[in-house]
Structure 1
Amino acid sequence: MNKLFTPYDLSGLPLANRVVMAPMTRTRTPENIPSALTALYYAQRASAGLIITEGLPISDEGRGYLYTPGLYTDEQTLAWRKVTDAVHENGGKIFAQLWHVGRMSHISLQPGSASPVSSSEVPATNTSVYAWQEPGKEGAVAPSVPRALSTDEVRRVTQDFVASARRAIEAGFDGVELMAANAFLFDQFLSSALNNRTDEYGGSITNRQRFLLETVDALAATVGGERVGVRVSPFGRLYDLQPFAGEAETWASVALALNERTLAYVHLNYQPTISAAEVPAGFGAEFRKAYRGTLIGAGGFDRELAEAELEKGELDLIAFGTPYISNPDLVERMQNGWPLAEPDRSTFYGVIGSKGYTDYPAFDSEEGRVDRQHSSAKVA
């Protein structure tokens, strides 16, 4: 029952354990460039077997939230090199999550105040993005009505992902994760309720998954399939993503298609959460049958549930999100049965500086308390 803390070979990349730090947007970089605090934040958590970064917009067009560090300029690339160096110096491995939000954006964030882009012109309602309410005043706003990408633009977005992946490798990342989950751009193409296109990227399941698979293949051709992970969230209901006709069949097809490819992993966010629907009974087992490569599970795990799922054999690695915010030494705490610190939710997003970010201390086993000295990681 200690499989969680055993080493794992991720397509030739040795991981110290099967604990993954899940991607978590923190909106902490006012200039959209990672800072010294970003490097410290990830370095503090380097005892995870694998770190997956927060979503990194691949372009200005792909951005849906203020203060999210991108990966599409020389300055951003150089700054991410400092982050990856810090993680590696502390013994960790790190993948960059590449992100395009699609319709989940606002004209105040888009180049030239243009409309966000999506598979179609269906807007997201009853949700919000973090953008400019008015010049100089940030806050929650309704996503703007999107416009549909042209056929040629869909292929151009794929190339934007490729360019960002090249920068990720240049910046020292061990690999990249394609963000195809949580109601962002690829989900907007996969959903028959949102995708009303009549070109080769709309209609049938084969056509609706084409954009995703073409992008996966382009990334693999550029950086190597063993360096490419894919995150999906079947039956997700975030950000006005509604049930759609053929939903179960769509995800079964995606699983089979991904299994035909050599990938680092598929990152499956399928457990019920506050913002997700119940998945069909047995879905995890069916996905495991269809996709035989490394499978990461995410969604509400604690140590006990993680161990149980690993023993069942449906998952190979387990991703933890919120616990990593307030427990930089989460691996050590879980392994030793030490108590977990509770996070301050008021500092999850939009706070500039170290509060609620890099100031959570590690646990001092000798004193039975947290030790702020030992929360420091090596950062050049």
Structure 2
Amino acid sequence: MIYNTIIIGGGTSGLMCAYQLAQAKVDFLLIEKNESLGKKLLITGGKRCNVTNNLDVDTFIQNLTLPHKRFLYSLLENFGPSDILNFFAENNCPLVLEDNLKYFPKSNRSQDVLNVFLNKIPMNHVKLNTAITKIYKDGDIFIVECLNDKFKSRNVVLATGSKSYPHTGSSGDGLKFAKDLGIDYTDFTPAETHIYSNQVVKELSVLQGYSLKNVVVRIKGRNKKAQGDVLFTHFGLSGPAIMHLSEDIYDCLQNQKVILQIPLGSHSREEIDDLFNISRTKNMTILKTLEQCTTKRIANLLLEIGQIQNKNINEISKTTIQKLKDALLGYEITVDRVQDVTKAFVNKGGISTRELSPKSMETKRIANLYCIGETVDLHGPIGGYNITIALSTAVAAAKNIIKNNSQD
């Protein structure tokens, strides 16, 4: 038997592709190596599933750090956040807005998101517990081999995910297939994840569980920064700003030592200078001076780390004052490592977009081979970006397959 399409991977993008083909009555086979579909989808967003966000296409793309982010324009114009909102509403899974950005299912259950697909994908078109070992093309027909069987199809869709959370099935298989097929790719690396720092553990342990609000974190000596909250943890640092910067931190760590500069308050250099000058005229203690610039906990910690006695500010040396000001503006923290690629929320890397048509996700080298979802070098921050990209790329591939099928 020769299928019209074989979809490899039963995650978010594979499910959406299968849904679209099923609705169009295109013959397909969805192959998944796990015992069930959508395992990663079920755990995303704390098992609530942040499906998409409320951003327009321009803002969505502007918020990405990808150098090739313009690749997504036609995809999101065709099927973006507003279309996703309508899609789930039409499938009896309404989404509700939180924090004026993220859309979650009204039920707060990721299972309901998964059910949208399971309710429309015929299970006789699904093969579970089947790991693919090889893909190749014989003339116009793809041969998809597994351990004990082989399948044939006119189209193949790679929807195998990244290396993030391999227990859900995402183990980077798509890159092995890409290599075998001569498709260019970049190895997966961690993104949107935590960092480890012995300095934080030893020097800043009293700040464990403490958050700095809406600060700009910089990588010292590099033109890399991110804005958001920073959380001090028992192993290092986390929070939106750290997670968003983590992929750059990982890249920098490959070649050099990485030091982060993290403001310990919200004041500018000029404001801090003014506050210190006012303190001098009022003969305030150095602790009271610092408390005007940051929290009491951090002010005490800075004196403890610097072994500075709480004396009148006018008795403190200029060198010590400057060090305290520098710490307030950008406390320097050495990074030891970034969370492993398999435990990162998102992965950077994947099949190169240069290999793909931005309107159909079909590879340029091999006709009727499509790559979608996290298998492709497309990713964004936490906040509905990555599921949106997965759904958008899946719809583009499915529409092209459906169009070609109708012309046969």
TM-score range, shorter-chain basis? under 0.3
TM-score when scaled to structure 2?
A: 0.23
Q: Higher relative contact order at CA 8 Å, sep ≥6: structure 1 or structure 2?
A: 2
Bigger fraction of residues in helix:
2
| Bigger CA radius of gyration | 2
Bigger fraction of residues in strand:
2
